[in-house]
Amino acid sequence: MSLDFEPRPGAAPVPRMVLAQTVMETRLLMRNGEQLLLALVIPLLLLVAGTEATRIVDLGPGRPIDIVTPGVLALAILSSSFTSLAIATGFERRYGVIKRLGSTPLPRWGLLVGKIGSVLLVQAAQLVILVLVALWLGWEPDGGAAAYAWMVVLALLGTAAFAALALLLAGTLRAEATLAVANLVYVLLLVGGAVLVPLSRYPDAAQTFLSVLPTGALSEGMRTVFEGSAPPVSSIVVLVVWAGVAAAATARTFKWE
Amino acid sequence: MNSLAVEVAGLVMRYGDTTAVDGLSLTVETGTVTAVLGPNGAGKTTTVETCEGYRRPQAGTVRVLGLDPVRDAARLRPRVGVMLQSGGAWSAAYPHEMLRYVSRLYADPLDVDSLIERLGLGGVGRTPYRRLSGGQQQRLALATALVGRPELVFLDEPTAGLDPQARRSTWELVDELRASGVTVVLTTHFMDEAERLADWVHVIDHGRLIASGSPKHLTSEGAENTIRLSAPAGIDTAGLVTALPAGSQVVEQSPGVYLVSGTVDPALLQGVTAWFATQGVLLDAIAVRRRTLEDVFLDLTGRELRS
């Protein structure tokens, strides 16, 4: 049972380290029941409820499922790239995981790439499942393959913006505060962030404000592409600006311990 | 090749108004086990974490394997194993999963299954980290420090919270590391641990180095070993002294308890027992007491409790 401790130091190749990090983060994310609830159960419930939605809120002209589905896709992206990521990262800081990994050969940017990689993996699963269920429920998107390609582009832009905001939050607040804020923001945006209810159904005064929120921009983009058009330039600009500003702020403020 | 694995010179570290490390200088020889011993709050962890590259020296210099731990971090990290005082694992991760993950960050890691077995973590299986006992968490932290086959490891209080068996098993592991040529730096406030494990001990207090040497050197320097004996109260101590080699002293510490000091060797012991035989007095107990590192430590750092 004797182990040979003779030193043979060396770092693994960077792609292997980043892959290991991505796999580990994904495993932990999938094990977390609360995060799965946010990532899949709530969006699925909203999708089903959406088919009956006109009885509750006036979504405007058109079939409810066609209006609700793009919003649910946007919500799924918000849940995994903002809420889940913020909470997980907050507790990693609290439990010294990030500190500990700081003394391994894994570079810090590798840690971030691994995190984003696991978010994208989870998101891919979310989007596939939600799209299939929506189609089964009678969703009739326009735009064909191009619309799905735009969906992926918007998902990546949205993830960049939300993930940067998540890390900004998790890197400065205590873990409990991050948990509270991340969940609160999720609920507020779900209800009043122009995610499910189209922007055009909000009062004029609110529309300008909501259209510059990352959720408003992402949802409007999703709705537009599944109506068969290219996404509005404003959506793309808003997401890029949020991603840039939040990433710059995160780079300045993030505390690894 | 540099024979010094760690060189700390004139290190100063402050937190607000508190000076945690106050002009500390110490070295660690390659291939040795070196203990950094001191009471809580002495500056041990701050010093070690500066060597690990977590903190930038506010004054002074730190060199680890000849490199700057902050500037040359990318080159150092693969070569140095780190065991933090607490935490460092995802609360939902299983021990085996955690160790396998960390092993994938290194080029030529140890076999994960063997390491798990060696540290007695084979039985915990699918228990998430947060439900492990404190001792199991400590052992997992030790395993993650070793899995990358480092040439130098920093172990911050490696046996805190371990039961006596696990503590002994960790000691044996440290012996194996030394035998394999790994340089080990460990902090501890257990005197017996430093005495048992270390080739070299640095005693620090209030952020300063107050003594340094091999355990043997530290315990013998200026040490008066004693023979302690129990016998009826009120014996003729002056008479006993005259029967002993010159330079010996005898005091009745409390009624019936006597301390004989001087050059404690077999001749002195024989002198004591022979004198009692001539007096026809039976000793109740007799013991040779060596000065321990604990005595040294308490002499150096004071015997009052720290707040």
| CATH number for the domain that contains residue B252 | 3.30.70
Residue B211 shares a structural domain with residue B260? no
Domain check: are B151 and B260 in the same one? Answer: no
User: Going by DSSP bridges, is the β-strand pair B200-205/B33-37 parallel, antiparallel, or unpaired?
Assistant: parallel
Residue A7 lies in a domain: no
- B163 or B99, which is more confident? B99
CA distances from B111 to A2, A202, B7, B116, B117 (A): 11, 60, 32, 9, 10
Task: Give a yes or no: residue B16 inside a domain.
Answer: yes
pLDDT < 70 stretches in chain A: 1-2, 53-60, 256-257
Residue A20 domain flag: yes
Residue numbers of the domain that contains A107: 14-253
Q: Are B87 and B195 within one domain?
A: yes
| pLDDT tens profile B72-97 | 999 999 999 999 988 899 999 999 99
Residue B226's DSSP bridge partners are: B261, B289
User: Which residue of A103, A109, A176 to mutate against B (max B Cβ within 10 Å)?
Assistant: A103
Residue B305 lies in a domain: no
H or E element in which residue B62 lies: strand B59-64
* pLDDT number for residue A85: 93
Domain identity same for B200 and B253: no
Among B220, B240, B260, give the residue marking a domain's end: B220
Tokens 């909203």, residue? A46
If pLDDT is split at 50, 70 and 90, which confidence band does B1 have? low
Please indicate whether, in this complex, the C-beta atoms of A7 and B182 are within 8 angstroms of each other.
yes
pLDDT over 70 percentage in chain B: 95
Residues B182 and B234 in one domain: no
Structural domain ending residue among the three candidates B220, B255, B281: B220
Write down the residue that tokens 């700057």 correspond to: B68
Nearest to A96 among B86, B92, B181 (CB): B86
Residues B200 and B232 both lie in one domain: no
A20 with B105: Cβ contact below 8 A? yes
pTM attached to this predicted model: 0.82
What confidence tens digit (pLDDT) does each residue in B100-157 have?
Answer: 999 999 999 999 999 999 998 988 888 999 999 989 999 999 999 999 999 999 999 9
B161 and B241 in a single domain? The answer is no
A7 contact B CB<8A: yes
User: Is A5 within the bounds of a domain?
Assistant: no
Share of residues in chain B with pLDDT > 90 (%): 56
Specify whether B40 is located in the same domain as B69.
Answer: yes
> Is residue B23 one of the residues assigned to a domain?
yes
| A2, A9, A20 member nearest B150 (Cβ) | A9
Distance of CA A180 to the CA centre of its chain: 17
Which residues 104-133 of A have a C-beta within 8 angstroms of B? 104-107
Is residue B299, in this structure, part of any structural domain at all?
no
Whether B104 sits inside 8 A of A99 (CB atoms) is: no
Residue A121 resides in a domain? yes
Total beta-carbon pairs less than 8 A apart between chain A and chain B: 118
Residues 10-39 on A with a CB inside 8 Å of B are: 10-12, 16-17, 20-21, 23-24, 27-28, 31-32
Across the interface, which of B74, B79, B101 has its CB nearest the CB of A107? B74
Average confidence (pLDDT) over B194-205: 92
- Tell me which chain B residues have a C-beta less than 8 angstroms from the C-beta of A32: 92
Q: Are residues A97 and B90, on separate chains, in Cβ contact within 8 Å?
A: yes
- Does residue B297 fall inside a structural domain? no
Phi, psi of A162 (to 5 degrees): -65, -40
Q: What single DSSP character describes residue B256?
A: T
Is residue B307 situated within a structural domain? no
Count the domains in chain A. Answer: 1
Task: Give the residue on B whose Cα is nearest the Cα of A22.
Answer: B101
- Where in the sequence is the domain holding B242, given as residue range(s)? 226-289
What tokens does B65 get? 């394997």
Asked whether the beta carbons of A17 and A106 are under 8 A apart, the reply is: yes
**φ, ψ for residue B138 (rounded to 5)?**
-60, -45
